[in-house]
């Protein structure tokens, strides 16, 4: 089988960075056509910088990094330096990138790749707010039926919220964009907090990655040390959750995940519950299913995969 063609839309973020590395370490299964950046964890200038830092760390300066939206569709940007640090990628000392941003803006690049590749061959992998994806679907509605699917990290049902009591960060930041994506008719798979809070990087798992002893795994270990302090304090869990790598792991090993094909709607009206993913997990409405909502990940298998792949870089 030829590798699956993907575009990673991202706001790095330490967990985004690990997701990018996992994809770049898996060329037999995944061909990364482009990385597109969006404002989210930190403002766009930093997410664009960080995406290029990660490409250089992986020795993949051939991957074009396109800059996208600086702001959500209708809201003021909310960022998450309290989780990711001032740079968005605190925890490892890495040089500023030499790799330049690609000339084509992100939304144009997304449309261009989807139109150029055979129908049904491109999968979008959003790891941040869905602003770029919504803009692409609005500007070029024809791409919806050409996409193989969208596999995204965002939302929560049983875990409810991490940025407010009701909402997960990526959906909270741009709920109108999330609504456009979920109403687009594209096959959508959602990796919500319900699953990603099971992918905890415990000390033992982090030690196994650090023991590989390459520049890549040293950086990952530094990022994880920094990043996990937030969730450790907040949830008292055994390690920080590797949210975004779950998207890439799902593409590589869907057998590690379980979910339900259900209806998912986004709250855009209420301030109190803005960005809540109202997931009909128990199928108590007649609303048509529009997403596969993942509920579990087999964490040991996930970390075995991640560790084995990072060792390849």
From 14-22, 50-58, 155-163, 215-223, span contacting Ca ion (CB under 5 A):
14-22
Residues 123-142 that bind Ca ion (CB under 5 A): 127-128
Catalytic residue, candidates 84, 197, 243, 261: 243
* Catalytic residue status for 243: yes
41 binds ligand BDR (CB under 6 A): yes
Minimum CB–partner distance for residue 229 and Ca ion (Å): 17
13 binds Ca ion (CB under 5 A): yes
From 54-62, 138-146, 161-169, 206-214, span contacting ligand BDR (CB under 6 A):
161-169
**With CB under 6 A, what is the number of residues at the site for ligand BDR?**
15
d(C-alpha 20, C-alpha 9), whole Å: 10
Q: Which helix (H) or strand (E) holds 295?
A: strand 291-297
| Cβ atoms within 10 Å, residue 72 | 23
d(C-alpha 31, C-alpha 43), whole Å: 27
- Cis bond before residue 41 (omega within 30° of 0): no
16 binds ligand BDR (CB under 6 A): yes
Spatial CB neighbours of 244, under 8 Å, sequence gap ≥ 6: 10, 13, 15, 16, 18, 19, 127, 153
Binding ligand BDR (rule: CB under 6 A), the pick from 48, 162, 263, 273 is 162
> In 15-29, which positions are buried (b, 16+ CB within 10 angstroms) versus exposed (e)?
bbbbbbbbbbbbeeb
- Residue pair 53/141 in contact by the 8 Å Cβ criterion: no
Contacted entry of Ca ion, ligand BDR, none for residue 179, CB cut-off 5 to 8 Å set by kind: none
Minimum CB–partner distance for residue 125 and ligand BDR (Å): 11
| Cβ atoms within 10 Å, residue 108 | 17
90 binds ligand BDR (CB under 6 A): no
- In the shown chain, the binding pattern of residues 46 to 85 toward Ca ion, with x for contact by CB under 5 A and - for none, equals ----------------------------------------
16 binds Ca ion (CB under 5 A): yes
- In the shown chain, the binding pattern of residues 205 to 244 toward Ca ion, with x for contact by CB under 5 A and - for none, equals ---------------------------------------x
Q: Which two tokens stand for residue 84?
A: 């990711």
Q: Which two tokens stand for residue 128?
A: 């941040």
Q: Which residues bind Ca ion (CB under 5 A)?
A: 11, 13, 16, 127-128, 244
């Amino acid at each position: 089988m030829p590798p699956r063609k993907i575009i990673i839309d991202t706001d790095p973020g330490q967990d985004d960075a690990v997701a990018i590395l996992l994809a770049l370490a898996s060329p037999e299964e995944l061909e990364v056509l482009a990385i597109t950046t969006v404002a989210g964890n930190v403002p766009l200038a930093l997410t664009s910088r960080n995406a290029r830092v990660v490409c250089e760390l992986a020795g993949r300066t051939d991957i074009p990094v396109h800059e996208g939206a600086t702001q959500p569709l209708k809201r003021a940007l909310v960022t998450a330096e309290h989780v990711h640090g001032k740079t968005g990628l605190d925890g490892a000392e890495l040089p500023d990138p030499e790799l330049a941003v690609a000339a084509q803006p992100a939304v144009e690049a997304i449309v261009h790749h989807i139109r150029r590749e055979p129908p049904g061959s491109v999968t979008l992998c959003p790891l941040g707010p869905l602003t770029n994806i919504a803009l692409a679907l609005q500007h070029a509605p024809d791409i919806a039926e050409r996409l193989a699917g969208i596999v995204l990290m965002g939302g929560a049902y049983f875990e409810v919220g991490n940025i407010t009591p009701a909402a997960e960060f990526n959906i909270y930041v741009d709920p109108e964009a999330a609504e456009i994506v979920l109403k687009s008719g594209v096959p959508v798979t959602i990796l919500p907090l319900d699953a990603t809070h099971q992918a905890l990087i415990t000390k033992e798992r982090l030690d196994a990655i650090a023991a590989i002893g390459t520049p890549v795994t040293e950086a990952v270990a530094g990022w994880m040390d920094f990043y996990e302090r937030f969730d450790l304090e907040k949830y008292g869990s055994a390690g920080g959750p590797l949210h975004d790598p779950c998207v890439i792991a799902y593409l590589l090993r869907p057998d590690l995940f379980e979910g339900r094909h259900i209806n998912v709607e986004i709250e855009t009206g209420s301030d109190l519950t803005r960005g809540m993913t109202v997931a009909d997990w128990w199928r108590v409405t007649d609303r048509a299913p529009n997403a596969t909502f993942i509920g579990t990940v087999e964490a040991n298998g996930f970390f075995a995969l991640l560790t084995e792949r990072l060792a390849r870089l």
